[in-house]
Amino acid sequence: MAVRHHLVDRPPAAVWSVLTDGTLYGEWVVGTSDSHPERGHWPETGSSIAYHVHVGPKRFGGRTVVRRVDPPRALELEADGGPWGTARIAFDIRPWGERTLVIVDEHPLRGLGGTLHNPLVDTLLQLRHRTMLARLAKLVERVTPAGPDGQERTGVRTTG
């Protein structure tokens, strides 16, 4: 299993908003592009998005299906990478003060990835997750600018 975490400088609602927008998947998931809805209403359980997976010069079709959703705390996906097989990818979204701790846990399920799964594969997944979570954080922070006090701009005024 490859587990990695990243602290995002926005509240959980902002992270959840990006995670649950299937059209943004290709912007933060390493190796994917051209994401679009495939079945159902993302991120309802059983819904899916399709995209392209790039491995060097090769391009394959891929799809990801929502297996479990618990807004705004958890999102579990099954990614199908074609010849590489399928993987379970679970996101745990935790408030961390004014920020969000995102924990990703991925492991191969079936196919070539499951057959060849070993500590070296987990190391490669860790490297991929480092980049993926950094991209996710940058995207969340870009689409949800912080206000002058560092808080998310929500349009809601508070008094105090």
Domains of the chain: 2-143 (3.30.530.20)
Distance CA 82, CA 115 (A): 14
Distance CA 91, CA 106 (A): 9
Question: What is the layout of strands, in order, in the sheet containing 48-55?
Answer: 2-8, 99-110, 86-96, 74-80, 58-70, 48-55, 32-39
Rounded to two decimals, what is the model's pTM?
0.83
Q: In tens digits, what is the pLDDT along the chain, a chain of 160 residues?
A: 688 999 999 999 999 999 999 888 888 888 777 788 899 999 999 999 998 877 778 888 889 999 999 999 999 999 987 777 899 999 999 999 999 999 999 888 888 777 777 787 777 777 877 989 999 999 999 998 775 555 544 433 233 3
Maximum pairwise Cα distance, the chain? 58
